[in-house]
Structure formats: C-alpha cells, structure tokens
Amino acid sequence: MKINNFLIIIPARGGSKRILRKNIKEICGQPMIYWPLMELSKYFRSDQILISTDDQELISKVEQKGIKVPFVRPKNLSDDFTGTMEVVHHALNWHEENLFLVDFVLIVYPTAVLLDYNDIKSSFDTLSRDTECDFV
C-alpha cells in the first residue's frame, strides 16, 4: 500500500465545552495538537495532513509547527451537534477539489497525544486486509 494514497484529517474544533480550548492546552510545554502532528509528520508529507478547524489561534499554533491550514471550517460544521463524519466529508471534498485525490483517509483526533507508529501501522494493516474499509 503506497503511503501517497493517504490523507490524514484532524478534526480540531475550537469550542470544547468540558475542557475549554483543549486542543491547544499545553502538555509538556507544547499544545496538545502538536503531539499527534509531530508523530504523523515523521511518516507523511505536510500536504497529506489536513486540519479542519474553526479556531484562528489553533491555526496560528499549528502553522508555527510547519503544517498549513488552507481553509477555516464553516460555522455550520462547528457546533455541538455536528458529527465527525460530516466534518471529515467536508474536509475531504475540499481537499480533492483543491489539491489532489486520495484513496484512503486516516482520521486522527488532536487529543491523540500518545499516537505512535504502531497505531499508524495498525490502521494501514486494517485498510490492507478489509476491502470494504475506505477510511480508518
């Protein structure tokens, strides 16, 4: 399975209710979203990582780490009632209309601070084994 066929979408809404601003809360001196981004950056090009967010401060912090955020998520997809799949569908459509087509999508939450190579490999293995699986 070629790694070029993948897009990683990170849904990172700014308006968390339980833990305010959780995606940019510092963990070990870095914003929470930094940790999965740095692990993903070891295996994927920056143009394969797409962050869907409505939060300008989060965009600023992510871009300081070298990951460009090419669009701001629309308000109608940034409320308490919008599901992950709606956000991913929007981001994937944007990506394929503006950049390049992909075969597979990996969804990684910004709170996945312990993400490591074995998690990523497990996702690839699932996609390789299951012909009905389009994304992990």
User: Quick one: pLDDT at residue 115?
Assistant: 95
Report how far apart, in Å, the C-alpha atoms of 50 and of each of 11, 47, 79, 102, 131 are.
Answer: 9, 7, 19, 12, 24
Give CA–CA dist 40/115, Å, rounded.
8
User: Quick one: pLDDT at residue 135?
Assistant: 67
pLDDT in tens, 48-88: 999 999 999 999 999 988 889 999 999 999 888 898 999 99
The residues near 95 (Cβ < 8 Å, ≥ 6 apart) are 7, 50, 102
pLDDT-based confidence at residue 4 (cuts at 50, 70, 90) = low
